[in-house]
Amino acid sequence: MPLLKEENYTIDDIYALPEGERAELIDGKMYMMVPPSTTHQLLMNSINIEIGSYIKSKGEKCKVIPAPFAVFLKDEKEKDKELKEALEAVRKYPEYRQQSIRIQEKLESEIQELRKAQDEHTCRLLQMEENSQRRERNKLRDRLLQNYRYYTSKEHNPRQEWTRMESETFWECFADYENMNGNGYMHSVVQPEMNSLGIIEMDDASGIAELMHSRK
């Protein structure tokens, strides 16, 4: 029999029932359910066992779930509403698809622009690095040529000798020049002539003194 209540019952009222009490909710009215008898439960148990054994013998994946458990049946209006929403979503799918394609194309275009900007920035950085290296290489080249002209000049260095320290300093700069991809005249002319100069060791004080005295 339905419980007396002016307003309609809801699912929340079903869940609020005390433990062990069961009811059916039909059109906003709650109908209390009496506990099943022993005979009813024995019959239900036998039926469940028979159905479960049959399903298992057929290798099916169905499950037997004995009462009580909650079952909520949606009314026709709610089902119609969900059906309309599903049909509307299907109808609008081409529009959503086109919108998705436009968004994807826009993103791809923006990504391409970012890549292009990144490539241009990388090229500028490489160009700046190359220009900086070229300037440093030219400075080293000028320094090496100045030393070359001085040490190989018979007017300024008539003995055609240099100290061990002068030699090591020059060749360290020469190595730096090579590491910067310096080549050409420095290797074909400067390097051989500088290698032909005599070397005075740093512990030869008198030799160094005579060398310095001879230079102009």
pLDDT value, residue 191: 93
Mean of pLDDT values over 176-186: 86
pTM of the model: 0.46
How far is 105 from 216, CA to CA, in rounded Å?
75
pLDDT value, residue 1: 47
Q: Are 22 and 33 in contact (CB under 8 A)?
A: yes
Mean of pLDDT values over 84-99: 83
pLDDT value, residue 42: 75
Mean of pLDDT values over 73-99: 76
